[in-house]
A and B are shown apart, each in its own frame.
Chain A
């Protein structure tokens, strides 16, 4: 995805992560800004299903040629699914960060945490 984009149906964390909320479950990924800053992703090893994640803490890593980068959990909960496709095609995180490049699905332990996340316009403004 060559042009910056921040879909309006997602919630955003200041560490450049997004969450798509679906009841008490959420899908996590990294934003267009994050993948652009990182460069081409060459390695992503998904965390194990069942792993507990805590809001504002690193739960996995993405690696470009040059560097490894922590991925911060926008919300707390337990990982119930991971994107297995990314092991073979990690560049999907660059090509489709909000779609096929999702990282994990999480059963939320405290859905009220969603209130602390930014909407697309607030996140975009934070990048200025």
Chain B
């Protein structure tokens, strides 16, 4: 497999910093991104035990603003947007009319009529087109803000104390966001992340990202790549679009019914309500493999189903993953087999999350 030439890939403002730090760079969703610096396991454990910083500037941003911004978003995303206070954050999915998942999103409410939605890099352009296609008749503007922001995720048990030392005011609580000056730069500081650890995410002007990155490293954060980000989110049982979520799966089977409020009438809500009522034929479950063996995305579940995410877990030190299995085999403790390239590996349905941080 030959990656496309690097010059066709987008680069974040931190590309020179990644090269200087000795990162292995890899194409990801049209971007040249650091997959690892010192090693996935080491970076993963740094985030679990101390603090790591990820460049997630490949993620996109869509701003929705205007008198009807709330009404427009309420039509688009699955969660109840009215429940987001100004300065709040909310997770949701974006569905098509048949309830298939187009993306999973965090939306921040910056003002009464001003929202910023963070998209997955691979879906940004489709999401933007979808937002705009449904904006007709609403007194609201849909703005592509992807090129206006770099994004850093500072994650781990020491992330908040570290960020606080660099910040001019109190950090926002979990699922909130606040404008602050951090390491000398204006930042939208968000109490969010996707690692299963506490921490903050920083939305910055691209030109400010390199000095803020340097300040975070100088303060003790370990640079962490997309490899560790994937194993961390998997241990936390957070979904990855393209693996665990797709247009062919509805949010109920994916275990995301909690962020779907069908009474709001969002696009796809009728299909989601029907799926909830009928019960899904297949559900996404976390699993562990009785060592040895590591299942990977695409491996078949014997008797029906498929692994959508599979990796080695640095914390559990064994193969773990998430798989869609038939609804009658989802009880934790249920054993099943996975066909790992011709070798049958015994797996057990686990409880969410696969890794639970100690302080909660």
Contact = CB atoms under 8 A, between A and B. Distances in A.
B41 A65 contact: yes
A88 to B, nearest CB: 11
B314 interface: yes
Contacts of A45: 292-293
B39 A39 contact: yes
Q: Is the interface of B mostly helix, strand, loop or mixed?
A: mixed
B308 interface: no
A61 B231 CA distance: 21
Contacts of B35: 66
A64 interface: yes
A43 B292 contact: yes
B309 to A, nearest CB: 12
A119 interface: no
Contacts of B319: 43
Interface string B33-67: 00110011100100000000000000000000000
A40 B227 contact: no
Interface residues of A, number: 13
B311 interface: yes
Contact of B36 (A39, A42, A61, A87): A39
B292 A65 contact: no
Nearest to B24: A39
B266 interface: no
22 contacts: A39-B36, A39-B39, A40-B39, A40-B40, A42-B41, A42-B294, A42-B312, A43-B292, A43-B293, A43-B294, A43-B312, A45-B293, A61-B341, A63-B294, A64-B312, A65-B227, A66-B35, A66-B40, A66-B230, A66-B311, A67-B296, A68-B296
